[in-house]
Amino acid sequence: MTGRVTARLPGSVAGVPVRLSFAHTTGRLLDTAFVGPVAPGTVRVEARNRIESPVVIDEQHPTPAESTPAATATPVAARPVTVAPGAAVPLDFAITPADAAVTGLDPLLSLEITPDTRALLTGAMKNEGWAGDTYAVTISTDPAYFGAVPPGGTAPLTGLRVDLVPGTSVVLTADAPSTTAHLRMPLLDWLLRDTAATRFTYRVVNLHGSADGAASPALTGTGPGTLDVIPVGA
């Protein structure tokens, strides 16, 4: 994304171009450590990814080495290498002249980020939040369950309460064995257009008059669509 910031000062106006990108950054992407000689005339550097997204080493360039006498380090294998977050890869360089005593090497690399958008946005968001968009889930049960004592119960079942995340509850009864809930989408999943945006958790609670009975563990469902529930223990 590109744009421009305009700063107004007494007697002047300054425009500053701005470019925002997940794929390019001015910060350091790799931590490099000099390993040392691995063969006559060849030294190794370890490059470790220090960010949350994969980093592609597109090119390795000839680099002046810290050595006596002065020497040049030329990459042995110049093919692109992808370094996963937290992972490290060895980079070997041929030294010219081969008998130079190399004490350090900070390789010159052309890098590109393969953005892990979920990891980036998760780190950028203080709270997960919820999108304004909703989806409908029709929740139903068989009315024949009501009025009977469920297995393990001591009183007739008068209703089922279904608690859904985020913060929605519905009650099913013999007179209203079906209802529709409108659930909000997690903001991050909605932004990423992830199918998880319409995944929800819920639990079923048996109702006996005004008292709660047995409750199910947390269950998962996917909307929009229908959700058929049964009493706990049935």
7-51 pLDDT, tens per residue? 887 878 888 887 666 656 667 899 999 999 999 999 999 999 999
What pLDDT is recorded for position 119?
79
Report residue 124 CA to chain centroid gap: 11
Q: Are residues 163 and 195 in the same domain?
A: yes
Q: Are residues 150 and 175 in the same domain?
A: yes
Domain that holds residue 43: 30-115
What pLDDT is recorded for position 22?
62
Last residue of a domain, one of 88, 115, 142: 115
What pLDDT is recorded for position 20?
65
**How many folded domains does the chain comprise?**
2
pLDDT along the chain (234 residues), means of 10: 78 78 73 96 96 93 95 91 96 96 95 85 65 87 94 89 90 96 85 85 94 94 94 91
pTM of the model: 0.57
In a domain, 107, yes or no: yes
